[in-house]
Amino acid sequence: MQSESPLDTLISAADRALRAVFAPARASRPMPEPKPVPAPPEAQATPTQSTAPPSLSEAEKRDSAALMRVNHAGEIAAQALYHGQALVARSATTRALLLKAAHEETDHLAWCETRLKELDSRPSLLNPLWYAGSFAIGAAAALLGDRMSLGFVVETERQVEGHLDEHLARLPQDDTRSRAILQTMRTDEIAHGVSAKAAGGAELPSPVRFLMRNTARLMTSTAYWI
């Protein structure tokens, strides 16, 4: 098999970046649906199940949209981290693992995008900036070697899991559609962390973990508004 020239590599990286930031994401799995709510006891005589999601007030929609905008920005950043790491990865196996994970994350991007539309809102205007910054961070992490790079995935997913838990608690009670998306994302992120660890991910030094947490905080607090 012929290996890619540096120019091919650069063109592929630019293509991935433009698709992630500007093209509508296409999911390969259907959007997660909320579980049907059991009928209340008084309606047990005719056991029907309500499947229609409860409607949200304007304030609740705004609240949910702000949280889903943060999650969408987080998924843009996840794409960029993986792409940056893949560009610099030393082994073809690690590169393939990273690009496969990025591809799986496209579902998350697409679901958040769809939910934002349903909530009459939009993604973060700063997405190109989140992509560029995260790409650089991913590439820098990968310069430290494949084991550190995989360790970076483990730590990122650990932090994303904590962040999703926080959002699941903050979502308006009746926003069952957003909740179903975040719950499926949470399950997927845990699996990504487990496979990166199994592939040899090293434990990161605590100053790096601290830096990662604070960078993520800056992004999530800004994307909530912009």
Residues forming contacts to Fe ion in the complex (CB under 5 A) are 78, 105, 108, 189, 192
What is the Cα–Cα distance from 159 to 211, expressed in whole angstroms? 12
Cβ proximity to Fe ion: between 177 and 186 the closer is 186
Cβ proximity to Fe ion: between 17 and 76 the closer is 76
> Do residues 94 and 199 touch, judged by C-beta distance below 8 A?
yes
Shortest reach from residue 109's CB to Fe ion, in Å: 8
Shortest reach from residue 58's CB to Fe ion, in Å: 28
Shortest reach from residue 210's CB to Fe ion, in Å: 21
> Do residues 167 and 115 touch, judged by C-beta distance below 8 A?
no
φ, ψ (nearest 5 deg) of residue 205: -65, 150
CA angle (17 as vertex; 14, 23 as ends), nearest 5: 120
Shortest reach from residue 52's CB to Fe ion, in Å: 28
Cβ proximity to Fe ion: between 105 and 175 the closer is 105
- Cα Rg of the chain, angstroms: 19
Cβ proximity to Fe ion: between 63 and 105 the closer is 105
Cβ proximity to Fe ion: between 177 and 192 the closer is 192
* Nearby residues of 53 by Cβ (< 8 Å), 6 or more positions away: 34, 174, 176, 177
**SS3 state at 99:** helix
Shortest reach from residue 13's CB to Fe ion, in Å: 20
Nearest of 13, 8, 11 to residue 139 by alpha carbon = 13
